[in-house]
Every structure is written in C-alpha cells, then in structure tokens.
Structure 1
C-alpha cells in the first residue's frame, strides 16, 4: 500500500500480500479505465499532487487494490500514462552511426511535436517541476534509458571508426541532442520541421569525422 495515499483497501478487494510480485492486470479495459480516469481528473483541473489512488480508483470504478496490483503508487501510474500517449521509443537501424543518430533525433522531434499537440502532456510536464517524485520516476524509467540509447550509438560509431574517438561520449551526445532539446524545452515556439534530425546530425558529424 502506498504511504502517500494513506487509505485502506476497498472491502471487496484483497490487499496485495507483502512481497507479492506485482503484474499487469489481465484486462486491458481496466488499465484504460484507470488512464481515462486520470486524464478526466486532470482535464477538470485537479492538480497532480491532489490525485490520490483512492480518488482515481473511485473515478475509474475499480478498487484500489486493482490499481496496486499493477502500479506500486502514483508515480508509476503517471509514468505509464505518459508513455502510453508519447511516441514509442525508436528502433535503431544499426546500419551506420548516422542512421542510428538520425533515428534518435527524429524520435526527439516527434516527442516535441506530441508535447505541443497534447494538452495532457503539456499539463503534466508543466506540473512536473513542482512534483519531484514524479519527475524522478519519469527520468529514471523513461529519459535515462533513451539517453543510454544515444550514448551507445555514439560509442558504436567511435568503435567502428565513423566518429572521432578522442572526445567524451557524453559530450558528443549532448552536441547532437542539444538543438532538439533547445527547441522543445527552452524555445517551445521554435520550428520542428521535417528533416531537422538529418540536418542536425550531418552538421555535427562534419566536425566529428575521424582525423587523418
């Protein structure tokens, strides 16, 4: 039971056993009902900090234990909701460093467009800074794995002789992702036009060619 909600399980639900393995519910409809409940409450103007598991369960028409069998707490639930409405993680072609990096940056561009067009994403991201636990959960389970994809792609390019290997891997990754992040976070009104990923990668790679 999540401490922050402080409630007890509904009488008709068995509480999760200590140490029991949590898993996805069999019904996709239950998961969607919970997601719809959260979205509906957010649309009504309920702040993230005031969304308790009890309130979400009541709105979705399920018991709290039904939610806890799928999610350990609000943070996990919110992160799964965000992932369900974001573009999927990219599948890297693996044919070259350029192809992999273009796929990664195109994924960042698509996420930037999704954030602009989705009221839900805009609402939740706007509140994340005031909700550190949610931001930490999102960063750990979503942002960091995507960042590792970029670092691995850069590292492979260096090992295969496609990129200079005398530079720090994280520095090179920042050079590549920086322009996209600038346009989606710091300058949210900047253009995210098709072909931007290719132009950024090609411009950066021009300075990353192995020295002869």
Structure 2
C-alpha cells in the first residue's frame, strides 16, 4: 500500500476548509487543516507536508506572507493559492511570493485535484533534471537559479517553471495557449498578461548572454533561441 501524500491546507472559512479537507481525504491524501496563517506556519515546520494549499486572505498571517516565510526554508515545496482575487496584478503577486499555481474561488474540487497532481508530477520531473545548460548559463531547476561566470541569479518559482518549458522546447515554438493552461490553468486575458510579465523578467535575467533570445511569435507563442 502506497504512503499517503501529506497536504497542508490553510483556509479560515470553516465550511470550505472542511469540504476541501474531506474531499482530499477521499482521494487518499493526508490533510492538515489550519484556520490561520500563524497556525499553518507552525504546522509546516513541525509536520513536514509535501504540498501547500493556502488561502490568500487569512487572519494573523495572510497567504502571501505565509508563502514568503516558507520560501525562506523550502524553495521546492509546491504551493497553490486559493483566492477570490482575479486581477492580473494579484496573480503576478501570488507567483512573486513563491506560488506555483493560483486557483480562483469558487472552484471545483476536481480542478483542485488535477492541479495538485500536476504539481506533484512536476516535482518528480525536476528531480530528474536538476541542471540544464542554456548558452553560457547553467539553469539549476531545483534551486531555481541561473549561474553565469560564477554569478548566481535567483528566479521566482513561476520564472523557473516557464524557463523550464522554454528549454524543453528550445528553438521551437512554445504554444501560448498550451503553456497558459499548463502553468496558469486557463488561457484567459489576465493570465496571458501575467505570462507576458514573466517573459519580460526572464529576458532581463538572460541578457548577459547575447546569443540567447526569447522571441514572440505573433499569434502562436514564444521561442527560446540559443
């Protein structure tokens, strides 16, 4: 019998928290449910979960601040934010604070399950491809850092995820809609704007190697040339 994967759920709305907890447990996950950010931080430190599902608006410590604190200790654990906020700037802020995915309320449990499994699958992929050469850079996928001439350039989680998929399709077009659905969950306007922001950030971080380009193929997507 396989070991149950431990998930930390931080949700201050009692009814929603119970529904999510019970639904995940019926899928054979072990769920630790906390009702505020401070309690969730303590549970993270003592119970060592393998994935976090964090509500953004919580008492004592909100989801963004909680994720930022957790990233000081663990840069790899997958984090999914739950929130009613849906503006592009809110989505970007979530990823900048260390989130791997962002689910807007109201959501279906099936969608949450799919995203949890997708993130857990990416963790396994990362473990098999730790360092990826990109031109003069070495891209450490696990540590989410670019190294060039002994200089270390730290990436956010979303930057690392996006760069990984660009490298997997280097010198070929990375379809815009496909990658939006895979990393953002939807190819709507706000998510597309968010991805454009992260592409711009990656271009700036890769500019030390003039042989590397991320070009926009209008109407199709992006291409990493190196």
TM-score (norm 1): 0.31
Q: Per chain length, whose mean CA-contact separation is higher, i.e. which structure has more relative contact order (CA < 8 Å, sep 6+)? A: 1
Larger helix fraction of residues: 1
Larger radius of gyration: 1
Larger strand fraction of residues: 2
